[in-house]
Amino acid sequence: MPRHRTTSSFCVACRLRLAVCICGSAPRLELATRVVMVIHVSEWSRSTNTGHLSRLALTNAEVRLQGVRHLPVSSAGIDPDLPSTLVLYPGRGADPLTPETLAALPRPMTLLVPDGNWIQAKNMMRRIPMLARARALSLEMPRPDFPWLRRNVLGGRRTTFEAVAQTLELVEGRETGQRLLEFLEQFLRRKRGV
């Protein structure tokens, strides 16, 4: 059963205890790539969700919630038919994300990222028109050597923020990816009380 967090003891932005809040360490990177996190409403409230960290780390990131009753996910400002609009999805039918693939794409890019458990992400890809129509790409590089926030049965899986950081490393450069992964590592350390 999840513990209820009160605003008096937890930061509403990073979701850590106020004593270990990481907001001041967020890199706040200004990138050409726009990142749109489509987070399932039940995932949004989980203490182990990392997708919300993109709003802290990137100035050009936003969150749109899926699963709010009678409120479909907005596609305002997104044209999924543009070749520069991509959806990061490690499922069937996605093309491998390689430097060669990226080199052929126009810039700036919009990166759509479904964030939920595997069933939720699969359903979002089918039910949300902008995700279904955008070109799906899967990350093929090995995951960073970070401790897990959740039980992971299949070794190739990674947290949403890991996937975003590694994708942006390919798109925006190594330094971008490294700064984002360092931020995630700090978050994980503080969350575990290390």
Q: Tell me, what CATH number does 49's domain have?
A: 3.40.1280
Q: What pLDDT does residue 1 have?
A: 40
Within-domain flag for 157: yes
**Is residue 10 a contact partner of residue 17, using CB atoms and an 8 Å limit?**
yes
pLDDT band at residue 93 using 50, 70 and 90 as cut-offs: confident
Within-domain flag for 161: yes
Q: Quick check: 85 pLDDT over 70?
A: yes
Domain that holds residue 159: 27-146+153-192
Instruction: Give the pLDDT mean for 119-144.
Output: 89
pLDDT band at residue 153 using 50, 70 and 90 as cut-offs: very low
With vertex at residue 173, the alpha carbon angle to CA 48 and CA 23, rounded to the nearest 5 degrees, is: 35
Number of structural domains (the chain) is: 1
Write out the H or E segment, with its range, that includes residue 54.
Answer: helix 53-57
For the ranges 19-28, 33-42, 114-123, which has the lowest average pLDDT?
A: 114-123
Cα 4 from Cα 37, distance rounded (Å) = 24
Which one-letter DSSP state was computed for residue 22?
-
Within-domain flag for 16: no
pTM score:
0.88
Mean pLDDT (the chain) is 88
Within-domain flag for 19: no
Q: What pLDDT does residue 142 have?
A: 64
Q: Quick check: 11 pLDDT over 90?
A: yes
Within-domain flag for 55: yes
Within-domain flag for 35: yes
Within-domain flag for 15: no
Instruction: Give the pLDDT mean for 124-143.
Output: 90
Within-domain flag for 7: no
**Is residue 130 a contact partner of residue 179, using CB atoms and an 8 Å limit?**
no
Instruction: Give the pLDDT mean for 21-42.
Output: 96
What's the one-letter identity of residue 76? A
Q: What pLDDT does residue 169 have?
A: 94
